[in-house]
Chains A and B, each alone.
Chain A
Amino acid sequence: MTVIGKSVTRLEDRALLTGTGRFAGDQNFEGQLYMRVVRSTVAHGCIVSIDTRAAAEMPGVFAVWTCADVADVPAINLRPGSALQDLERCRQPILAQGVVRYVGEPVAVVFADDPYRAEDAAELVWAEIEDLPPVVGLMDTPGEFSPGVSTEPSVFETGYGDVDAAFASAAHIIECELTVGRHTGVPLETRGALSIWNEAKGQLEFHAAAKVPHNNRIALATLLGLELDQLHLFEGHVGGGFGVRGEIYPDEVLVNLAALRFRRPVKWIEDRMEHLISANHSREQTHRIRAATDADGLILAIDDEFWFNQGAYARTHGATVPSVTAAMLPGPYKLPAYRSTGHIRLTNVTPAGTYRGPGRYETTFVREMLIERIAAELGLDPLEVRRTNLIAADEMPYDRPFSVGGSPIQYDSGDYPGALASALDQFGYDALQAEMAARRAAGELAGVGLICFVERGGDGPFDDVRVEMAADGSVEVVTGVASVGQGAETVVAQVCAETLGIDYSGIVVTHGQTDRIARGQGARASRVTVMTGNATHMAASGVRTILLETAAGLLQSPAETLDIVDGVIGLAGSPGDGPSLTVAEAAAEAICARGGTHLAVEETFEIDRATYSFGVHLAAVSVDPMTAGVTVERYAIAYDIGRAVNPMLVEGQLVGGAVQGIGGALLEEFLYDEAGQPLSVTFADYLMPTAAEVPDIECLVLEGDRSTTNPLGLKSGGDAGVTGAGAAIAAAIGAAIGKPETVTRLPVSPRRLRDILKAKS
């Protein structure tokens, strides 16, 4: 029975293809109230007064809260384990307490019996706010952000080796400043929540939970003053996550607080404008980076200083993004000495958190454009500079002598130069470069960018899985993982089916229900297949052992001589021959002998480090010199995932991620004016790629060396599509216009590119 490695279709699809999904907005409870948040319209100001009288008198309005009504609820905590970096004092209250710090910050909240009425009433809440000067520039000289808090609450330094000595002896020193714009995940489903007090059970039930239900249960219980057993979270369908959806925001706390206080169900669905100004932003950082190289382009040291725009508050992720930024910058290259100095900056814009590929998308752009610059200044082919610096296969496992968040950085396996060679071959790189050179010679602006990166995923600390088999042989896998659309159910079912020798399609995978399993880590940081997959394998192996031992008695053959094939237990190696019994028969027998209603085995997979994998992105673009528009003519990804549980789903992650990354490279950006007013508040000004802006993404899924961090040998795949996209597009544009050093900022919007082209001519 081999279902691991097969591109089987998804278990998730049926409900989603027939319109019977249960997304946040699809769920309702009798007698529910609808919540509408009143948000600040100024970036920084003192709240003089908030007049709620007109709103409260509207028909259907049940209650209106301002900060005084929720003063007993603490600010939202940073998640334990997130790199904290002294950000505790920058936490966000659930309603602004005296001062507003970004446009979109919740200042009041209205509850009514109808969503239209709630919105009408919210428009009548009048907050008088006295403007204060906003901080909008990431690179401004540090000053006071709020009483006793600097606009630069944290600066941290990390690295290894003797950077200064390397620079002192370098043949070349190359330096540049590179900036990534402010983007975020923007799932197609906006945020939503539905909470109900269950009187019979004496517990609050939060429906439409996402991403990290178990962690959020602990966080919410603390904020609401509940015992843990008084709160349960239930995940329904989730319309995209990308790191943004499913964190604890003020809105989710308010919904739960209201349901708790009113003893009535409360529902909240935000609109798209609210989403774009209040869900976590991400990415925005500026790097001033220097490389010391020898005469052949071998990098001896990198000294990187960067500034990260956290926005107005620290959110649940704490300093995760800048911390991962420092960890991921070295990428797939040797780099004997490295120093990273990170500045976390507060400004009066929407707060930031993680977005798919956090710290990877940004640093891959910065590092790979640095390499383009090194190649240009030394007169070398950028591909040769990459080859010169790539970690060799015989250097694996490769230790980086520093850590991220206490977790050691060890690249566990892989043949990076070999994978690069496969990619060049598969993509017809030489021919493509020749074609582009000919087009440039004929006067066109066309070029190829090829970049390398390392992906990190499958980190711990643990995942629990319980596999339950009923007397009819049916199987349920219960896990604390979450599904955000990536196919988690299918992959977990495949691993379980492979281990038990049964069909994957009948396996039920239950996730995101805190009343079904005590702990869980959710869906974050490309961890699900690695962590939950291995835990599933362990628990299913336990059930398998029971089945084989039971069958051994009945078949009068030692358990180690038996195997399960297609749900039938018989002698290993000779399916169909000799005595046999079905899995269901063995399960019934075992349950009868052991008591209870199920065979249930729960296991924990623990790990203290992540797995690392290698990939290549290639972009071929042309630039219209009149409009400065960029056409992405080809886009290809090679990614060595070690072992693919479901290659079709891996490709799905790569293709989808790449298009998100192309969005950030060419289109997407949250812009603000000098007063801190957001200029990207609808889908007409926050532009995401449509089918017309992207080519068919080509994929080469490689299964080279398996991971050594986990028994199944799995590596992560969720972020590998997005990670290289900014770098590949930027490098391709640089090649197209013949000036890689002029492409210093993402997104490369037509306006910016027009300025570059003007300056060039």
Chain B
Amino acid sequence: MTRITLNVNGTDHAVEVEPRHSLVDALREQCGQTGSHIGCEHGVCGACTILVDDEPVRGCLMFAVQADGKKIRTIEGLAENGAFNALQQAFHEHHALQCGFCTPGMLMLATWIVERGAPVSDDELRDIMASNLCRCTGYRNILRAVRAVLDGTITRGAGA
């Protein structure tokens, strides 16, 4: 076992992991952060997408030990003072989720797009969001939700 520190949404978690433990397993089982989901464990579906040092990463393809000391962001860190942030609010208003299993990965990928601050064409947005699979929504409303935030139509969420 290896002792590492995972900084998750600003909080340090000192945990012991085996070198083979995936980062998403460590987040879920050791840090109690079950918001990031495991859909395929081979890097295709993207349900486990998280931000590591502000870059999107498949939590199933990174070992926990590789994230030692890094700044990790997950869906649990999105809400602001108990209220939805803009992306959460946009997903809610645009019906961009049904079962909600892919949602954590979609939100974190979209967070990266929004925070980059660069203009994003519709084709580019579709291309980036095609990194992750959703089996319920048919993607239309997910793209609309992210576009609404990029365009500034939705800037913050309602209170809790």
Contact = CB atoms under 8 A, between A and B. Distances in A.
Given A188-B45, A239-B99, A19 B18 contact: no
A485 interface: yes
Interface stretch (B36-44, B51-59, B64-72, B148-156): B36-44
B92 A188 contact: no
Contacts of B140: 655, 696-697
A272 interface: yes
Contacts of B136: 188, 240, 485, 652, 656
Contacts of A189: 37, 39, 99, 101
Contact of B40 (A272, A656, A693): A272
Nearest to A272: B40
Interface string B27-48: 0100001111111111011010
B133 A652 contact: no
B34 A188 contact: no
B129 interface: yes
Contacts of B84: 17-18
A691 B36 contact: no
Contact of B103 (A16, A486, A683, A690): A16
A721 B104 CA distance: 25
B33 to A, nearest CB: 7
Nearest to B34: A26
29 contacts: A10-B95, A15-B100, A18-B35, A18-B79, A19-B74, A19-B76, A21-B35, A116-B20, A188-B37, A188-B39, A189-B101, A237-B100, A239-B37, A239-B99, A240-B99, A272-B39, A272-B45, A485-B98, A486-B98, A656-B135, A657-B138, A658-B138, A659-B137, A660-B138, A683-B44, A688-B135, A691-B130, A691-B143, A696-B143
A682 interface: yes
A9 B40 CA distance: 30
A720 to B, nearest CB: 13
Contact of B97 (A17, A186, A648, A693): A17
Given A16-B103, A21-B100, A271 B138 contact: no
* 9 cross-chain pairs, A with B, having the tightest CB-CB distances, nearest first: A19-B35, A485-B99, A16-B100, A239-B101, A659-B138, A683-B44, A19-B75, A692-B130, A655-B138
B78 A18 contact: yes
A187 B126 CA distance: 22
Contacts of A682: 40, 42, 44
B21 A683 contact: no
Interface of B: 18, 20-21, 28, 33-42, 44-45, 47, 74-76, 78-79, 84, 88, 91-93, 95, 97-104, 107, 126-127, 129-143
A694 interface: yes
A271 B93 CA distance: 33
Contacts of A691: 126, 129-130, 139, 142-143
A18 B101 contact: no
Contacts of B39: 188-190, 239, 272
Given A16-B99, A237-B100, 17 more contacts: A9-B93, A18-B76, A20-B76, A23-B101, A188-B39, A188-B133, A188-B135, A190-B39, A239-B100, A485-B136, A487-B98, A648-B95, A659-B137, A660-B135, A683-B133, A690-B130, A693-B130
Contacts of A13: 91-92, 97, 100
Among B21, B39, B135, the most chain A Cβ lie within 10 Å of the Cβ of B135
A484 B99 contact: yes
Contacts of A269: 38
Interface in A645-682: 648-649, 651-652, 655-660, 682
Among A19, A660, A683, A693, the most chain B Cβ lie within 10 Å of the Cβ of A19
Contacts of B33: 19
Nearest to A690: B130
Given A116-B21, A240-B135, A655-B140, A17 B88 contact: yes
Interface of B is mostly: loop
Contact of B41 (A12, A239, A271, A652): A271
Given A187-B99, A485-B100, A652-B98, A25 B38 contact: yes
Interface in A4-47: 9-10, 12-13, 15-21, 23, 25-26
Contacts of A238: 99
A690 B134 CA distance: 7
Interface of A is mostly: loop
A308 interface: no
Contacts of B126: 691-692
A242 interface: yes
A723 B74 CA distance: 36
A517 to B, nearest CB: 23
Contacts of A25: 28, 34, 37-38
B92 A9 contact: yes
A518 interface: no
A656 B138 contact: yes
Among A186, A269, A691, the most chain B Cβ lie within 10 Å of the Cβ of A691
Contacts of A241: 99
Contacts of A116: 18, 20-21
A692 B126 CA distance: 6
A19 B93 CA distance: 17
Contacts of B74: 19
A48 interface: no
Contact of A12 (B28, B40, B100, B104): B100
B40 A652 contact: no
Given A17-B92, A18-B75, A18-B78, A683 B45 contact: yes
Nearest to B137: A656
Interface string A260-298: 000000000101100000000000000000000000000
A399 B13 CA distance: 66
Nearest to A699: B140
A463 B78 CA distance: 39
Contacts of B133: 188, 683, 688, 690
A759 interface: no
Contacts of B100: 12-13, 15-17, 21, 237, 239, 485
A684 interface: yes
Contacts of B130: 690-693
A691 B143 CA distance: 9
Contacts of B76: 18-20
Contacts of A187: 99, 101, 135
B24 to A, nearest CB: 10
A91 B101 CA distance: 32
Interface string A574-611: 00000000000000000000000000000000000000
